[in-house]
Structure 1
Amino acid sequence: MALTPMMRQYLEIKEQYPDAILFFRLGDFYEMFFEDAKLASRELEITLTGRDAGEPERVPMCGVPFHAADNYIAKLIDKGYKIAICEQVEDPKSAKGLVKREVIRVITPGTVIDGNMLSDKDNNYLVAVCRIGQSYGLAVSDLSTGLFQVTQMTGQWALNQLLDELIRLAPREVVLPHSLWQDEGVKKSFQELEGTTITSLADQIFTQEQAQQALTEHFGQAKTTALDCWQSPAVCGAAGGLLHYLLETQKRKLQHITEITSYFTQSYMILDGIARRNLEICKSLRDGGKKGSLLSVLDLTRSAMGGRMLKAWLEQPLIDIKAINERLDAVQELVDSVLLRDELATALKNVYDMERLTARAAYGSANARDMLALLASLQMLPPLRQALTNCQSKLLKRIYDQFDTLEDLKGLLESSIAEDAPITLRDGGLIKAGYSQEVDQLRAVARDGKSWLAGLESREKEKTGIKSLKVGFNKVFGYYLEVTKANLNLVPEYYQRRQTLANAERFITPELKEYESMILGAEDRLVELEYNLFVDVRNQVAAEVSRIQHTALLVAQVDVLVALAEVAARQGYVRPEVNNSGVIEITEGRHPVVEINLGPGCFVPNDTYIDTDRHRLALITGPNMGGKSTYQRQVALIVLMAQVGSFVPASKASIGIVDRIFARVGASDDLTSGQSTFMVEMLETKQIMDHATSQSLVIIDELGRGTSNLEGMAIAQAVIEFLHDVVGCRTLFSTHYHELAELEGRLAGLKNYATAVKEQGDEVTFLRKVIRDQASKSYGIHCARLAGLPGQIIQRANQLVQQLEFNQRAAQEVVAGKTQVAASVEQLALFPEKNEEHDEFKKEIVALDIANMTPLESLNYLYQLQRRLQGKK
């Protein structure tokens, strides 16, 4: 049997989008067939049915209602699937035969623009990668905001740098040439990106010639030439590939992507994925959520735009002292002026996501509610700018000077969009009274007609004597007069039958027919006219997308600065001094996250001093749970906050610029790749050894615990010596190997520190204070007791420790005894060779079974030997 025409149409379209689930519009539903139906029914937990399609068996089918499709699409996108939206592209009434259908858009994880599929304070990045020789080009876009940026990585560590940048961006989707995806090294690295969909495209899309053409057509010759894209084939290829993918999936002009900008990773402090994870900058280690991270402490932003910008600042701390101090000056001014801060905060509360609202307007998907939200935001711009009028800091003054209050767009939206406009665009009620004379006239006609209808029922009841007569309306038959069958004998001759029901008849009169035409004609025309006027207003907004985006970025900056000032004022943070001295000196520093969790006054502050000379490596010993790890991380976070331009949790801080922070903390394994805890530890350590510079800050916590004590201590010492002698970076190195404290004095730049402990009998108190000292105990059994291990285990552990300590002392005595015996033998060698007594001594000593002598026997023999030698003298 031949397939039905509709099913052939479906298969022809599906063939063009093999890697997407095809949402095929049939009436009020999106239908899926064959394998797509099986997949969607499983993932969405909806019923799988069948449909006659001309084949012997019914083909698998499932569907979702058109009006609720967004929720289903969001679930599939969240699972990493792509959705091809297929719509009717001609009016069924005028179609000859099968209605024409086309895919109007492909929604992928990296091209989501709908608000309900996005996290307000997170960017939704789509990234393209291209490799030419030893260089990697990276292009990144957020379709929901209009962002489009490029950068380049070159040299020996280019792939590592690329992966670090991808970890920072956490893109929802990566696009790359098919040949690059076949590279096993690249493939393995990219597959480790969490929650990222990988899409490979034909290599020719990334060629410089094709990329140049696409970029020039979209951005114009001036912008692409100014960017020097042509100088780097890898960057050009990545940007062209990204733009091609966006245009192919969205199938429309992207009016809101107006700028292509470049950035350099070297312009910011570099943080690899290990440091980002261990320092919990934007995600907590516990569950990967925002709670428990540095971001959760600092994020008092009022707008989604501000939230995204704060996160971007934290992920890319500055290394330019001038730029850092400009931010700090602005925060200082806002901290000092409570009134200014409150004025700005009040206005910011009513600012919606101008970036995404404008993007949807330019994209053509914004509804009236979006436009009203944009209007509410525009109405806050004048008071925001007014509050900045007398600011003195350079950054706030620059924002004031560049601030466009967009009065023309505010006036347009205030006059055009009705305050109670509905979400849907085809139900009328979009346009405000007074904006369009024609709209007002049509509304008057419809209103007058309905007023006449309201009186028709009473007039006809009185005229005919039919007390139960009703005036009604439905979409199929229009307006009618309904008479029950019991009263049909009272129906006058001028009533014309329109519809017969079981218990009633429906009629129309010539007069009612005339008013029906007038009312329905006016309503249909009104809906169409309002829709067209709304689209025109939306297009006028879209035409000013660059102006709105620029102002939105300024508003976001103000939001971030106000938030940082607010946190500083609440938490008692101080302004750090940022310089090129190489010295990190912190007085009474605190961990910003732990301090919040403990509550006011509960956190024990600590001082820090490290530099690039005589105090470049702080070796911290002390018990588990003594606070070493918290102390190390707080130093790193204070440095990071300072270079972001934030005040810091301390009573005083001077921060010498850091180019990178490395944080090797704790133990973890990677079972998926078969790597043990110790191997992960070594690989993370290698990362530091390969990339740390003399300007870096390194924190290492408990290195070498994954192997034997002897080997672990040896590795730890070797790493310390390498960091001290070869790299010369500022380092905080904590360890449970107390013996390593002997390195002070041997390494000129190493200083010993310890976490203080108070002992009273069997009671041990961790003071959480870091002091200039060295520890002698680990207090592991005490920690086990605190953790609640059974008393029997604690008691037995104490017995074993005493036994092991005794054995260790005994072994040390044996070694000492053997050493002394050996020394005596060497001493005998000084006697004349022909001395007979010397020969006797020699024979006697050689015959000794030293390995089986007890410490006491060794000492006794040595004593007797000494006596005999003294007698000879």
Structure 2
Amino acid sequence: MKDGPSPAMKQYYTAKAAHPDAILFFQMGDFYETFGEDAAVVARELDIVLTSRGRDKDGERMPLAGVPHHAAEGYIARLVNKGFKVVVCDQVEDPKKAKGVVKRDVVRVITPGTVIDSSMLGSPGAQYLMAVAPGKKGSIGTAFLDVSTGEFFVSASDGGRDYAELVSEVVRYHPSECIVPESSPDALAVRLRAQGLLVSRYRDDAFLPESARSLLCEQFGTNSLGGYGCEELDGAVAAAGAALRYARETQRSELAHIAGLSTRLSARNMALDAITLRNLEITKSIRSEAAGITLQGALDVTETSMGSRLMRSFLIAPLLDPEAIGRRLDAVEYFVGNPMARADLRSHLDRCGDIERIAGRISYGNAGPRDLLTLRESIERIPALKDLFTDETPENIREALEAMSDLSATANFIARAIVDEPPALARSGGMIREGFCAELDELRNLSTSGKDWIGQFQQQERERTGIKSLKVSYNRVFGYFIEVTRANLHLVPEEYERRQTTANGERYTIPKLREKEAMIATAEDRLSVLEAEVYADLVRTLAACVPELQATARAIGHLDVYAALAENAARYDYTRPVIEESGRIVVREGRHPVVERSMEVGFVPNDTDLDGSGNQIMIITGANMAGKSTYMRAVALLCIMAQMGSFVPARHATIGIVDRVFTRVGAFDDLASGQSTFMVEMLELANILNNVTPQSLVILDEIGRGTSTLDGFSIAQAVVEFLHGKAVTGPRTLFATHFHELIELEGKLKRVKNFHFAVKDTGRDVIFLRRLVQGATDKSYGVHVAELAGIPKKVTERALVILKEAMVQELKGGGKTPRYTQMLLVDTGEGVAETNPAVEELRAMKLDEMTPLAALNTLHRLQNLANGGNGRR
């Protein structure tokens, strides 16, 4: 036995050493083989057989798992979609001509964030590679690059506590992969991985601002980045340069279709943090990927992939400029008022391919024949699409139409070159149309005529020899041969040269057949090589059109979004909102855009009147399941829809610009970090109180319910007082609570108003009317909700008994009919303690002068005092 690995395995170890964090697909003949730990992963993830062959460096049996070369794309796609990196090492010379071991080289590095192959892109959504780099004064620069389309943008955020803003970026854009500097703190990578993100450490020198700036200027053909709005953002520039370098290295390409970038600053868009995106289910359902429906799912009725991606970008970054919002609304209104133009446009777009991604693959050089056919059919529709707009159109529609280039020459070029029914892969051959290349036609004719000659030769030999069953056949080993059965061997002419004996007869050849075989084989080999060369030249020629294709794709995306938003408006009776700079939010008969779609009976609409300087805070009480949470979410979603440029589900809506939507709803334990429901609630609340502005919209649902009744009530009231403040205006706030004592704040704080959801109590049954009315209520109907949820009747009946007993006890203690179902008691074992020092101190507290943190510390001390402690820590 030889010592050491074989020459081929030496090649494998060299390639693997250069890519230790990736699965290496190593071509060996007609298979891609994986070895060692890679083989174990591949076998497990792809459910294929794990075998072994030879010995590894330590003398142990080498695990082996392989996939057929022709089917590798599908296997690689599955691995990449699971979050793995895959390196492809191909044989780069003909094994028949190799002297010694065949040469192999890495030809592709495929990562989740740099996928460009159509077979590996799991969805029409953006496939972002994210890069993160430190900036000045603790800031963090981020870059997002979609290699498949060329979309490229940067932003900058505050590093902050626990990278909260960075996490919001991840949730907002949902990148497939993130690279961070090699020397970045572990806490950063851990925080990002907690979002389910593949995080890779990349060499530090790629993140140096000066080298990054130089690389970007080289890519864009400019002397500075001033025109892109990021010249002074060192962290963002560093992240962008690293992302571009990583993409170019993995793709082994200059990626010419990445021709610029944009800067997205928070000052231009409504801020939607990760918590709000989750709570309002903007792009992802809280329940699961498959269950429920999101706002994106409700609104996205676009016809193209370009439109779908743009719709999502509108949704996660609503505008703050009323004029810009108005221009979008004008475009939507045009399509609402022109249903025939809208229907015709959507009909054209329905048959339009993903021009943006096809352009990316053309630039990269791996566009398939069917990509080109789709591209041709798509751009052939543009003239008819533009002809739909003969009248005066709003500015945004006019700009989109003007951005669409005349690509008829490109369509004609593809039509002349590519057959009407091409193969999926260029290597399959047969995609170049006859008449496009004279040399190719000549070889094709030679190959075809050669096969015709074989048929004629077979017939001639049958007649000449008298052997009616004589056949001319072909296999890879012997080429063409004459086959004669045993019964006819006595008729074989002397000039026949025997080549092989079989069970059924003999195989022969003659010089004439050998000569023709050589001609046919040569023609077919040359045909295959030449057609591949012609196709590659064709794709390179089309690469010059990529900028025009990208601009046209973006324009189509805009038209698609405006028409889709108009389709929703017409289908679901939405109205155009009035956008203004005021602090008002006035909605008449507003509805929840998602919930109303799933209701079997009609959705009950409600009004909203919020004004930062008047009716600033709505305290909403009432029964469980009455509709408080749905109502509050609906108000927030209407604001988001209005500022993204959509009509809204309401009879009328006036939306004063909202700079940020904050939400604190639901309860989610963060068990991974050891944080309880109440701690999570307090962290989210702290984020709101520390970042809220007078232009914000705040949605608070059941603040304080994660702790004791006294603690919870005290926190809830302190929060209302803080948001109200002593200024003349404050953040517009919807505050749902079961602490009915908070309704007394209406008489103490001038910008607080009480509301509740009406309930019809028949004495035997409870009917939720879903109607918001002014004023307070004192009932929660918790036992009735328990009955509706299917709690066993014995439990609910016992609960009613206990409830009545508690009410009687309260009557004994206070002498009045109880007003509140959620009572505030400090239990001493004999009823309410009238002289408890904690209660006396609580009554004397000056809440208006306390910060939230001081209130929390005081509450902790009072709780200790009430429990018999000395009130000190």
TM over 0.5: yes
2:12 is aligned to 10
Distance 2:438 2:345 in 1: 39
2:95 is aligned to 92
| Equivalent position SS for 1:623 | coil
Cα contact 1:4–1:53 (8 A) shared by 2:
no
2:23 is aligned to 21
Deviation by residue 1:388-435 (Cα, 9 ceiling, x = unmatched): 342421111111222213112111111110112212323331111221
Cα contact 2:303–2:350 (8 A) shared by 1:
yes
For residue 103 of structure 1, what is the amino acid of its counterpart?
Answer: V
Cα 1:593–1:139 shift into 2, 3 Å: same
Q: Which runs of 5+ in 1 are unaligned?
A: 821-873
1:761 is aligned to 763
Cα contact 1:620–1:753 (8 A) shared by 2:
yes
Aligned counterparts, 1:716-865, within 5 A: 716-725=716-725, 728-813=730-815
Aligned counterparts, 1:26-65, within 5 A: 26-53=28-55, 56-65=59-68
Distance 2:160 2:440 in 1: 67
Deviation by residue 1:630-649 (Cα, 9 ceiling, x = unmatched): 00011111111111111111
Distance 2:641 2:633 in 1: 12
Deviation by residue 1:678-697 (Cα, 9 ceiling, x = unmatched): 11111111111011110001
2:859 is aligned to none
| Equivalent position SS for 1:581 | coil
2:713 is aligned to 713
Cα contact 1:426–1:528 (8 A) shared by 2:
no
Cα 1:109–1:505 shift into 2, 3 Å: same
Distance 1:97 1:478 in 2: 26
Aligned counterparts, 1:317-466, within 5 A: 317-466=318-467
Cα contact 2:56–2:62 (8 A) shared by 1:
no
Distance 1:736 1:191 in 2: 37
| Equivalent position SS for 2:67 | strand
Deviation by residue 1:118-156 (Cα, 9 ceiling, x = unmatched): 233321111111103422111110111111212222586
| Equivalent position SS for 2:477 | coil
Structure 2 residue 683 is matched with structure 1 residue 683 = yes
Cα contact 1:126–1:174 (8 A) shared by 2:
yes
For residue 508 of structure 1, what is the amino acid of its counterpart?
Answer: T
Distance 2:550 2:288 in 1: 34
Aligned length: 816
For residue 742 of structure 1, what is the amino acid of its counterpart?
Answer: E
Distance 1:122 1:583 in 2: 35
Structure 2 residue 283 is matched with structure 1 residue 279 = no
| Equivalent position SS for 1:179 | coil
TM-score (norm 2): 0.90
- Residue 23 (structure 1) shift: 1.0
1:477 is aligned to 478
**Which of the residues 77, 80, 83 maps onto 2:83?**
80
Deviation by residue 1:313-334 (Cα, 9 ceiling, x = unmatched): 1111111111111111111110
| Equivalent position SS for 2:747 | coil
Cα contact 1:331–1:646 (8 A) shared by 2:
yes
Distance 1:740 1:291 in 2: 33
Distance 2:222 2:230 in 1: 11
Structure 2 residue 109 is matched with structure 1 residue 131 = no
Cα 1:110–1:333 shift into 2, 3 Å: same
Distance 2:162 2:701 in 1: 28
Distance 1:729 1:487 in 2: 101
- Residue 229 (structure 1) shift: 4.6
Distance 2:122 2:266 in 1: 25
Cα contact 1:135–1:158 (8 A) shared by 2:
no
Distance 1:508 1:422 in 2: 35
Bigger Rg over Cα: 1
For residue 796 of structure 1, what is the amino acid of its counterpart?
Answer: R
For residue 645 of structure 2, what is the amino acid of its counterpart?
Answer: G
For residue 596 of structure 1, what is the amino acid of its counterpart?
Answer: R
1:537 is aligned to 538
Cα contact 2:140–2:159 (8 A) shared by 1:
no
Distance 1:763 1:261 in 2: 59
Q: Which runs of 5+ in 2 are unaligned?
A: 817-829, 836-873
Distance 1:424 1:155 in 2: 46
- Residue 513 (structure 1) shift: 3.1
For residue 16 of structure 2, what is the amino acid of its counterpart?
Answer: K
Cα 1:441–1:788 shift into 2, 3 Å: same
| Equivalent position SS for 2:634 | helix
Aligned counterparts, 1:274-673, within 5 A: 274-289=275-290, 291-599=292-600, 602-673=602-673
Distance 1:391 1:354 in 2: 27
Q: Which moved more, 1:586-595 or 1:104-113?
A: 104-113
Distance 1:35 1:441 in 2: 50
For residue 174 of structure 1, what is the amino acid of its counterpart?
Answer: C
Cα 1:776–1:643 shift into 2, 3 Å: same
Distance 2:777 2:759 in 1: 9
| Equivalent position SS for 2:498 | strand
2:865 is aligned to none
- Residue 736 (structure 1) shift: 0.9
| Equivalent position SS for 2:439 | helix
Distance 1:338 1:86 in 2: 54
- Residue 437 (structure 1) shift: 2.0
Distance 2:455 2:763 in 1: 95
| Equivalent position SS for 1:52 | strand
| Equivalent position SS for 1:271 | coil
Distance 1:729 1:245 in 2: 43
Cα contact 1:136–1:234 (8 A) shared by 2:
yes
**Which of the residues 167, 173, 178 maps onto 1:169?**
173
Distance 2:663 2:832 in 1: 45
Deviation by residue 1:431-486 (Cα, 9 ceiling, x = unmatched): 11221222223333333333333333222212111011112222332222211122
Distance 1:298 1:144 in 2: 24
| Equivalent position SS for 1:110 | coil
Cα 1:495–1:425 shift into 2, 3 Å: farther
1:120 is aligned to 123
2:856 is aligned to none
Distance 2:226 2:399 in 1: 28
For residue 66 of structure 1, what is the amino acid of its counterpart?
Answer: H
Cα contact 1:744–1:751 (8 A) shared by 2:
yes
- Residue 656 (structure 1) shift: 0.7
For residue 13 of structure 1, what is the amino acid of its counterpart?
Answer: A
Aligned counterparts, 1:260-275, within 5 A: 260-275=261-276
Distance 1:786 1:159 in 2: 42
- Residue 818 (structure 1) shift: 10
**Which of the residues 179, 185, 208 maps onto 1:181?**
185
Distance 1:654 1:666 in 2: 28
1:259 is aligned to 260
Cα contact 1:319–1:659 (8 A) shared by 2:
yes
Distance 1:25 1:223 in 2: 43
TM-score (norm 1): 0.90
- Residue 339 (structure 1) shift: 1.1
- Residue 223 (structure 1) shift: 6.0
Distance 2:461 2:672 in 1: 81
Cα contact 1:618–1:752 (8 A) shared by 2:
yes
Q: Which moved more, 1:341-350 or 1:165-174?
A: 165-174
Cα contact 2:302–2:561 (8 A) shared by 1:
yes
Q: Which moved more, 1:329-338 or 1:134-143?
A: 134-143
Cα 1:8–1:204 shift into 2, 3 Å: same
Aligned-residue CA RMSD (Å)? 2.1
1:853 is aligned to none
| Equivalent position SS for 2:554 | helix
Deviation by residue 1:168-199 (Cα, 9 ceiling, x = unmatched): 112111111122233x3x344323222x1111
Aligned counterparts, 1:193-212, within 5 A: 193-194=195-196, 196-212=197-213
Cα 1:100–1:225 shift into 2, 3 Å: farther
For residue 67 of structure 2, what is the amino acid of its counterpart?
Answer: V
